[in-house]
């Protein structure tokens, strides 16, 4: 889904007053900056959650490679 086609929902947030003043003075779109920051925070948390949920499988795969080496390593040109 394209960002332009997403439905926006008005939301009230409390932000540091001096930060808001600085952003306005610099011509920063506060709504867009907040959305960008929230999008990044959600993405980072989803990644962290995935790593936690898959930690056992990742550890197992790493242990296998440590014991057996990389599969098809003999075909690597470097």
> How many domains does one find in the chain?
1
Q: Which domain holds residue 62?
A: 39-66
pLDDT tens readout for residues 57-73 = 999 999 999 999 998 88
So what's the pLDDT on residue 3? 60
DSSP letters along 19-33, please?
HHHHHHHTT--HHHH
**Within-domain flag for 2:** no
pLDDT tens readout for residues 1-60 = 566 678 999 999 999 999 999 999 999 999 999 999 999 999 999 999 999 999 999 999
- Is pTM, for the whole model, over 0.75? no
**Within-domain flag for 53:** yes
So what's the pLDDT on residue 4? 64
**Within-domain flag for 16:** no
Contact criterion met (CB below 8 Å) for 20 and 30: yes
What HEC string does 42-66 produce? HHHHHHHHHHHHCHHHHHHHHHHHH
């Amino acid at each position: 889904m394209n960002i332009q086609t997403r439905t926006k929902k008005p939301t009230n947030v409390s932000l540091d007053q001096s930060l808001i003043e600085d952003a306005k003075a610099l011509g920063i779109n506060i709504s867009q900056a907040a959305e960008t920051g929230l999008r990044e925070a959600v993405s980072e948390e989803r990644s962290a959650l995935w790593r936690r949920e898959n930690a056992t499988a990742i550890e197992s795969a790493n242990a296998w490679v440590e014991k057996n080496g990389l599969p098809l390593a003999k075909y690597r040109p470097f």
